[in-house]
Amino acid sequence: MRSRPVWLAVLATVLGIALLGAGWLTVRPAADGIGQVPAPISVPVPTAVPSPSGPAPAPPPPSGPTDVVPPAPVDDDDDDDDGDTDDPDDVDDDGED
């Protein structure tokens, strides 16, 4: 029976249109008296344009040094670092992998 979903869809559509209409009636400007046309919605034009401000002041220089110190290198001592030069993982002959 398909009539129930159809009626629910029609009811939801009518309810949505009613809510939109009620919202419009709520936010539109009211008329001055009974039987008059409501005032049109308009955006007021600014009467004076503010003068442009000057350039922003530059921030003060930092008081201390600004050099970034890199972190210390990670010690990569593995269990197989035995210092031998025949290690195939030792690519730069420094005794470590």
Residue 65 within any structural domain of the chain: no
CB 81, CB 96: distance < 8 Å: yes
Residue 81 within any structural domain of the chain: no
Q: What is the pLDDT of residues 1-20, one digit of tens each?
A: 578 889 999 999 999 999 98
Q: What is the pLDDT of residue 18?
A: 93
Residue 79 within any structural domain of the chain: no
Q: What is the pLDDT of residue 4?
A: 87
Q: How far from each other are the two terminal CA atoms of the chain, in whole angstroms?
A: 76
Residue 23 within any structural domain of the chain: yes
Q: Can you give the residue range of the structural domain that contains 15?
A: 1-28
Q: What is the pLDDT of residue 11?
A: 95
Q: Which amino acid is it at 5?
A: P
Residue 4 within any structural domain of the chain: yes
Number of structural domains (the chain) is 1
Residue 11 within any structural domain of the chain: yes
Q: What is the pLDDT of residue 95?
A: 61
Q: What is the pLDDT of residue 2?
A: 72
Q: Alpha-carbon distance 48 to 94, whole Å?
A: 76
Residue 14 within any structural domain of the chain: yes
Buried b (16+ CB within 10 A) or exposed e, 67-80: eeeeeeeeeeeeee
What's the average pLDDT block by block, 10 residues per block, for the chain (97 residues)?
Answer: 85 94 75 66 74 80 78 66 59 65
What pTM, to 2 d.p., does this model score?
Answer: 0.31
